[in-house]
Chains A and B, each alone.
Chain A
Amino acid sequence: MSRNAIDTSVSDHSVSDHSVSGSSVSDTTLTTDAAAYCLQLGDDALIYAQRLGDWISRAPQIEEDMALANVGLDLLGQARELLTRAGQLDGTGRSEDELAYLRDERQFHNVHLVEQERSDFGFEMARMLWFAAYQCELYAALANSSDETIAGVAGKAVKEVDYHRDHASQWVLRLGDGTSTSYVRMKEGLERVAPYVAELFEDDAVSVAVSEAGVGTLPSSLWDSAFGHVSRVVAQATLTLPTDSTWRSRGGRQGIHSRPMGFLLAEMQHIARSHPGATW
């Protein structure tokens, strides 16, 4: 599997040679980009937390109900801080709840990976492995962000997502190297997740701008390390990463989503929108 179709106009960097530093968020263009960047990261975390919440009381064993709730809670905490920061940076002063509950689908900037419906446990561990591997590299880089809030969120979150990555890795090992049935289901999980992976590592105008300003980092720069981790786990689990699929997801960062997203938002936002102005 390769990072197929990723924007080749932006060169690859490893995490280590792309530390973020430099300017603070000051001029208007930059704050707009920084706000959009916070929305991208915050929306990824929020929407995946929403999907993980659906597992609670449906997991394979009680310990896993607790673990998936824990991962979801961590992501929700990250989302709340990043959305709040987005509302500060864009000058609207919108709260985490206004951003979570009162935006329409086209205003959400998460990748398609996190909005896909809950499926079986093999799919979920494949999704979590990739997403946590990505987030580990992301937050490690953002701990040096010139935006103190983002750096603070990242410094705390990097420890959380390290646990998430470990949790998913341990399960992929057990499922890949467990029974013949689990081998097949884990393999299928990796195959179903594969078309959504490249989008995570794709640069766009927002990430390029915040990266140049030292506020954020280029998603493409995270690929090597994230891929390295996933491929080691998959190999040890006696599995192989799927070959490139004929299609891949794209557009989430621009608010172009897949079919499940509208239904997810309808469910998530319904009560809050039914009572305009209410406090909960």
Chain B
Amino acid sequence: MYGNDFIDPDEPLNAAEFGDVDDAVAAAATTAAQRAEGGSSFEALLAADQRIEPRDEMPEAYRKTLIRQIAQHAHSEIIGMQPEGNWISRAPSLRRKAILMAKVQDEAGHGLYLYAAAETLGVDRAELLDLLHSGKQKYSSIFNYPTLTWADNGAIGWLVDGAAIMNQVPLCRCSYGPYARAMIRVCKEESFHQRQGFEILWTLSRGTAAQKDMAQDAANRWWWPALMMFGPPDTGDAATTGGHTAQSMAWGIKRFSNDDLRQKFVDMTVPQAAKLGLTLPDPDLRFNEETGHWDFGAIDWSELWRVLKGDGACNAERIERRVGAHHEGAWVREAANAYAARHDLGQQQEYVA
């Protein structure tokens, strides 16, 4: 079932294209202008929907929660360079190769913004990387799945980046200023990534039979892991996450439940699959006229727990490459530090006569 034979550039394709990001920018500017009017205590700032800034007082638990969340997000960007990075050498056209290189480069940039945001809370990047390398901090479990075909680059953009944006748009209004501002920039770039992923699949689904099969296979493999990216149910009777969500919501870090965001993602994505002429691997997927939402089948949470605990196809490989690059690069970083210590680097060294 094919839709129109073109991608409408004006039709929103992801959560960052509905104006919420721009609204968050405008709201931040308005509230910042009113900052002096309310009290400056943590509670007063939260109550007035003001941003907490690095020099404001904040509860230690708030600071620790943010460090953990922002670091995990940064680690996900850095590890997330690998699944698609593996395809730079094999991209089937030079245009696709250039787009993919730029995209993976963006992920590195997102990692940098986020480590910088975490550093405003009194940790440094080296400490956080050590925690990643030693397994004490996690990255998104989605990156423990392999990228088996070219179409996986499309599915990652469309589904994985699409799900990530759905999670991240509300974070543009997060109570912690540096994180909220990083998220605004990240969402705008991720929106472009999601669109290029959709466009890869769009092209494949209008290509040869082998290309169409490749696209369908990728959608089949990435659909359920993408739904798991929102995390297990965290509110109501089905909640399994031990109450962190309620605290994060009270602190203005989290604004929607995992299930709410997941449902929004499903509602947005199912019609897009139809436009791509692809099916989704869920026999229970059907539109519910009463609720106005798409009902979907039960998620196999045992898979998420298994992969989180290390038993995914690529857990070992991802960390091995990251740790390997870090160790192999140690002599370079040490040299740069030694050089900086001996030279005034207020200005670049002049070497051209």
Interface residues of A (CB under 8 A from B): 46, 49-50, 53-54, 56-66, 69-70, 72-73, 76-77, 79-80, 83, 96-97, 100-101, 120-121, 166, 169-171, 173-175, 177-179, 181-182, 185, 228-229, 232-233, 236, 267-268, 270-272, 275, 277-280
Contact = CB atoms under 8 A, between A and B. Distances in A.
Nearest to A237: B351
B336 to A, nearest CB: 5
B351 A66 contact: no
A66 B331 CA distance: 19
Given A60-B329, A179-B335, A278-B208, A77 B89 contact: no
A57 B321 contact: yes
Contacts of B328: 58, 60, 120-121
A59 B97 contact: no
A182 B334 CA distance: 8
Interface in B305-341: 321-322, 324-325, 328-336, 338-339
B82 interface: yes
A61 B203 CA distance: 35
A156 B177 CA distance: 39
Contacts of B85: 56-57
Nearest to A80: B94
A56 B105 contact: yes
B351 to A, nearest CB: 5
B172 interface: no
Given A62-B78, A173-B339, A280-B203, A69 B89 contact: no
Contacts of B336: 174, 178
Nearest to B112: A62
Most interface-central of A57, A169, A271, A272 (chain B CB within 10 A): A57
Contact of B94 (A58, A79, A121): A79
Contacts of A175: 332, 335
Interface string B79-120: 001100100111111111110011011001101100100000
A79 B339 CA distance: 35
B338 A73 contact: no
Contacts of A272: 92-93
Contact of B351 (A49, A56, A169, A271): A169
B334 A181 contact: yes
Interface in B117-165: 150
A214 B348 CA distance: 37
Contacts of B329: 59-61, 64, 121
Contact of B82 (A53, A57, A60): A57
**Main secondary structure on A side of the interface with B:** helix
B207 A56 contact: no
A173 B105 contact: no
Contacts of A46: 94
A80 B93 CA distance: 10
Interface string B335-353: 1101100100000110111
A174 B210 CA distance: 50
B90 A182 contact: no
Contact of A179 (B78, B89, B109, B334): B334
B90 A170 contact: no
Nearest to B115: A62
Contacts of A270: 90
A170 B348 contact: yes
Contacts of A79: 94
A173 B325 contact: no
B132 to A, nearest CB: 12
Contacts of A278: 92, 207-208, 210-211
A73 B101 contact: yes
Given A178-B336, A232-B351, A97 B94 contact: yes
Given A58-B321, A169-B351, A65 B89 contact: no
Contacts of A96: 94
Contact of B97 (A53, A60, A66, A178): A53
Given A56-B85, A56-B104, A65-B108, A275 B331 contact: no
Contacts of B91: 271
Contacts of A232: 351-353
Contact of A65 (B94, B105, B207, B351): B105
